[in-house]
């Protein structure tokens, strides 16, 4: 895929993720919440291109938890380092727009991926879930003991986390690493499945008319795509002027 078409595909995927969460908020629905997120409350606000290190999407939930979402239409090992770097910077920055307020236990750094290397979709995803389930006094190694693929995923991602922590002037010990990885989750979801889930949420609000549901979804996605394009063009202009 060429650079231009890849960027276009990435922007479409990001808009589809944003539209899905916006529809969850409109429907006040938790039944179709990604399992990687807390299931107790629906979204109440969705923001694209927000002023956080993880800037693709921010979602606020009724129960006061938050999720910062990176949406990647495709991802391989070469792109994972940047994903991890954004997660680390978001943990360092905190949950408020002004930095300094730590993330809460129920907050999430979510990576939504349309397609990815198998070890990212399966092994790294499992690693993040297991670390998130550890008790406070459990050793981090309990997340991957006697599981070769998950352990290799940890060994791959560990230097990425430590490099990003060091670049941000943070300690690189295992406690600091755990602070990042305990909030991280991966949600593998392709664009066709996103379309199906979102249309299912819209159906009750458009008189069960499939054409109207598709039109409503198209409008939502167009609006989020506009926000993405405006933010990217502003960043580009800023870089050109610097």
Give per-residue pLDDT as tens, 143-154.
Answer: 998 889 999 999
Spatial separation of the C-alpha atoms in residues 85 and 96, rounded to whole Å? 19
Q: What is the pLDDT of residues 21-36, one digit of tens each?
A: 988 888 888 888 998 9
Domains in the chain, number: 1
Angle between helices 77-93 and 174-181 (to 10 degrees): 100
Confirm whether 215 is domain-assigned.
yes
**Which of 136-150, 198-212, 223-237 holds the top average pLDDT?**
136-150
| Bridge partner residues of 112 (DSSP) | 71, 187
Give the residue, 223 or 155, on which the prediction is more confident.
Answer: 155
pLDDT of residue 214 exceeding 90: no
pLDDT of residue 40 exceeding 70: yes
| Measured CA distances, 177 to 120, 133, 161 (Å) | 18, 15, 6
Confirm whether 242 is domain-assigned.
no
Q: Which pLDDT belongs to residue 202? A: 74
Confirm whether 232 is domain-assigned.
yes
Q: Which of 227, 194, 201 is nearest to 216 (CA)?
A: 201
Confirm whether 241 is domain-assigned.
no
Using 50, 70 and 90 to split pLDDT, how confident is the model at 80? very high
Q: pTM of this prediction?
A: 0.83
Confirm whether 90 is domain-assigned.
yes
Confirm whether 94 is domain-assigned.
yes
Q: What angle do CA 239, 53, 228 make, to 5 degrees?
A: 60
Q: Which pLDDT belongs to residue 242? A: 30
Q: Which pLDDT belongs to residue 213? A: 56
Q: Please say whether the beta carbons of 144 and 154 come within 8 A.
A: yes
Q: Which pLDDT belongs to residue 229? A: 54
- In terms of residue numbers, what domain contains 45? 3-236
């Amino acid at each position: 895929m060429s650079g231009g078409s890849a960027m276009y595909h990435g922007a479409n995927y990001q808009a589809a993720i944003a539209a899905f969460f916006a529809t969850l908020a409109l429907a006040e629905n938790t039944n179709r919440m990604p399992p990687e997120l807390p299931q107790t409350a629906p979204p109440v606000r969705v923001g694209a291109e927000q002023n956080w290190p993880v800037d693709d999407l921010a979602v606020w939930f009724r129960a006061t938890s938050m999720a910062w979402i990176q949406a990647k239409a495709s991802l391989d090992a070469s792109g994972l380092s940047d994903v991890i770097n954004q997660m680390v910077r978001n943990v360092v920055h905190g949950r408020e727009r002004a930095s300094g307020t730590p993330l809460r236990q129920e907050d999430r750094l979510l990576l939504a991926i349309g397609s990815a290397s198998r070890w990212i979709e399966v092994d790294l995803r499992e690693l993040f879930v297991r670390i998130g389930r550890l008790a406070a006094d459990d050793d981090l190694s309990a997340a991957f003991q006697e599981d070769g693929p998950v352990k290799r995923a940890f060994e791959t991602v560990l230097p990425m986390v430590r490099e990003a922590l060091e670049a941000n002037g943070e300690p690189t010990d295992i406690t600091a690493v755990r602070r990042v990885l305990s909030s991280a989750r991966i949600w593998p979801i392709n664009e066709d499945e996103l379309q199906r889930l979102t249309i299912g949420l819209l159906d009750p609000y458009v008189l069960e008319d499939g054409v109207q549901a598709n039109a409503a979804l198209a409008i939502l996605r167009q609006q989020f795509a506009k926000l993405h394009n405006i933010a990217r063009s502003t960043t580009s202009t800023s870089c050109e002027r610097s």
